[in-house]
Structure 1
């Protein structure tokens, strides 16, 4: 299932007319707000004041009548152990809890948080019974859905109050909206695709984990009572308001400004300005890498083929793992021999390359594409006398590739090709699909279809929704009910026909 990414593809604030993308169009005559008062010393702002992050509420223990069972017997858990048990219980109807790696990671992390007494008792996950806890949360969710209009309005007003207090900051005298101002709640890590760390415990973020960033002359945010910040910084060369390190992959998380803000708009504008420049030289670059397919230097040949894939298939360059990331994810430059198969002919096409590897966030990339004959021949050469685990491009790295691209155009990296090709694809699809005479609804449909083409190009996929299994069960229940109704109606029809026939025969005999 592919997700729409129109805003990330076109950027926010780029001047455009309705339904016509201008991500690669020459700049319009007007002066954008993020072009005003620019500084060349790396300073992003002069004044920044905010309230800090909003922390998710602390855990509320289960009612006494909701039990956890181990080996068929009720077992009272400590508060920390019980909270983690609820994370798993809430996911009982999800596919994740059927996966062995998820189960193992969860159980290992859960045992680390148990008391010594609980560790002595709870030794096998398959003897744990979370069903009563699961039912409690299902009922609680249903009760929330059944709230009256007045009760829902009250909850909305409470959420709006939190948004008003924590969801805005003062940036250089202007009130700007903050993106996600809440810390992530604790839970079980899911990841995307078949992530090796799925099921691990995402720990609660505390004020002691958080670094606050604001201006010296502002009112420093106050931490919750009884707590203190990890650090307070006054760094106006960055755009984040708060940060912390999450425990699963040891990666930094940030509270940033909303996409509609000046700073975010400027960043997107700069990204698409580089893509506009690529538009003017891309034909020369393509001619160069096509010529390099026949180079006497193996290094140049590998670089040329990799660049062809990045340009044609919008592949990521690779070597983009976060610190601490252990998943076997690759990009174009880090492809191994085992990640591709070559077919001289397949499905009526010649020179077909079959890709199958885990990309960023462990999302599988699978594609079969017909390539130029010199590319196919080069791949055969690159794979010769290599084992499946050997690098396909053994004389290339992302650093080498990007250094080469910098020589071709200032600011050019492999990533710019994704922005360029995504924007071009969207523009071409809109031109082909949109009829000027269409209604707004028709144009929106065309836009979504064009956007989907870009999502497919960039392999932007979403994971299965949390409610997918339940939705499928509900649909199956409805189908079964309809079948039962149909069978009953068919039976009643047959009985009525038999009764009519009997009456007819009796009348004829009389």
Structure 2
């Protein structure tokens, strides 16, 4: 069933996905099934797929009454399980439902895609609550793995998933007081970096000439973390097979040095898998000192050897925290992302632009950040059709505009030939002028929308907007530009950033 309901998706055409699925499926089979079903390509999932599609259609075609009944049933579940008490205040829980079983997809070309995500049982779940709290009851016939009373963490329940062995959590909603405070603290730490970033940069530039190799390697790595917003790269958990790396774990094979490339000197070509198996590919001109050091680091090394063989993430983080309390590679990403957004907004937006043009400029500023942070997404399956539909609407609107302009011309001509002013014709001229203006505004809106869709087709704007950009920059911009904040943040995002949206200062500087 899991495989059949994904037949329309490109995942089921990928060799790795199919091999992993078939291996896990065979483990679930009986002895008789295993001897009979030996080749995935010979299996026909058509009937199960058709059944799944039929169920989807039934859900789509539900009556208003059925939809309302379903909505009310879901709301009852939210009312019962969707809240907790935090410091005597009722707080909404983020997502209180455990992910159901299915086939693992992962991001990018993940080597474990297609493996079976097993159903989580109550025996896998740790509950975290106050000692005096009433412990929620597990389903009948089951028991919790453990009941814990740890007030130093913010999660309410946790379990370990079987694919990567990572721990998953039930947390408070994004708009909870606790989450808002954590968010505010994160951006304030990044703002503190602004006060000392120049001295840190001066120091790592001096360290590029250090007599100690470890200091030189650390300086080059810090240069990359600062200038390219690379992640430091945490140690892989045991059993992790995805060959993902960060700055400190780069290998010789991940970079190529070019004395000259595309009209630039000292170019470093990066090609590696970053977080979530997303490919990072970039050609970056660097300063001569960095280039010379990289040549030195590459000497007498094989492709699989570490580029920074004297450095690891632990050493880098220890060094960063000595430069400024709370400083990590992520703080650099947050700082640089927010600074880039602020600078791009100043450069790209004009107060005289209309709202549609201002929003296009905002998305372009956001995209500059997403590109810096390598936030990519796969091209949506429906992209070509969606763009074709939009283009058809643009063409139809152009035809309508040409027609309305012709009508306006004719009415003006008629009014002119009359000699004396005709009130009825004057009213008609004004109406036609209004129709032309409306048509031009609608056409501009559609053309801007098409530009926006095309430019953002493979860039994920949401990740940086939610995790790396200080929301106060966007809120101050929206108030200054008289653009409703609802146009920038959707309902759940406004809940998450309620602490920033409530601010009144318009001259906020990150």
* Common fold by TM > 0.5: yes
Corresponding residue of 1:259: 174
Which whole-Å CA distance do the structure 2 matches of 1:335 and 1:155 have between them?
Answer: 51
SS in structure 2 opposite 1:341?
Answer: strand
Corresponding residue of 2:6: 91
Counterpart selection for 1:296 from 187, 207, 211: 211
| Structure 2: segments with no counterpart, 5+ residues | 391-510
- 1:207 lines up with 2:115 in the alignment: no
Following TM superposition, by how much is the alpha carbon of 1:439 offset from its aligned partner in structure 2, in angstroms? 4.9
- 1:378 lines up with 2:293 in the alignment: yes
Corresponding residue of 2:63: 148
Give yes or no for contact 1:192–1:362 (8 Å, CA) kept in 2.
yes
Give yes or no for contact 2:235–2:313 (8 Å, CA) kept in 1.
no
1:79-228 paired onto structure 2 within 5 Å: 86-228=1-143
SS in structure 2 opposite 1:389?
Answer: coil
Which whole-Å CA distance do the structure 1 matches of 2:385 and 2:361 have between them?
Answer: 31
The alignment of Structure 1 onto Structure 2 pairs a total of residues equal to 391
- Aligned-pair Cα RMSD in Å: 2.1
Corresponding residue of 1:401: 316
| Structure 1: segments with no counterpart, 5+ residues | 1-85, 480-510
Give yes or no for contact 1:251–1:323 (8 Å, CA) kept in 2.
no
SS in structure 2 opposite 1:232?
Answer: strand
Corresponding residue of 2:201: 286
Cα distance change, pair 384–87 in 1 and its aligned pair in 2 (3 A): same
Which whole-Å CA distance do the structure 2 matches of 1:323 and 1:464 have between them?
Answer: 32
Following TM superposition, by how much is the alpha carbon of 1:308 offset from its aligned partner in structure 2, in angstroms? 0.4
- Bigger fraction of residues in helix: 2
Cα distance change, pair 473–135 in 1 and its aligned pair in 2 (3 A): farther
| Bigger mean CA deviation after superposition, 343-352 or 104-113 | 343-352
Counterpart selection for 2:255 from 333, 340, 344: 340
Relative contact order higher in (CA < 8 Å, ≥ 6 apart): 1
Counterpart selection for 2:360 from 426, 445, 449: 445
SS in structure 2 opposite 1:90?
Answer: helix
Following TM superposition, by how much is the alpha carbon of 1:243 offset from its aligned partner in structure 2, in angstroms? 0.5
Which whole-Å CA distance do the structure 1 matches of 2:348 and 2:238 have between them?
Answer: 42
Q: Which runs of 4 or more aligned residues in structure 1 lie more than 6 Å from their structure 2 counterparts after TM superposition?
A: 472-479
Counterpart selection for 1:360 from 275, 293, 299: 275
TM-score (norm 2): 0.73
Cα distance change, pair 222–443 in 1 and its aligned pair in 2 (3 A): farther
Which whole-Å CA distance do the structure 1 matches of 2:320 and 2:299 have between them?
Answer: 28
Cα distance change, pair 423–175 in 1 and its aligned pair in 2 (3 A): same
Corresponding residue of 1:418: 333
- 1:241 lines up with 2:156 in the alignment: yes
- 1:8-58: CA deviations, max 9, x gaps? xxxxxxxxxxxxxxxxxxxxxxxxxxxxxxxxxxxxxxxxxxxxxxxxxxx
- 1:409-447: CA deviations, max 9, x gaps? 122122211111111111112222233344555444333
Cα distance change, pair 433–474 in 1 and its aligned pair in 2 (3 A): closer
Following TM superposition, by how much is the alpha carbon of 1:149 offset from its aligned partner in structure 2, in angstroms? 3.0
Cα distance change, pair 225–439 in 1 and its aligned pair in 2 (3 A): farther
Corresponding residue of 2:284: 369
- 1:170-211: CA deviations, max 9, x gaps? 111111111111100100001111111111000011111111
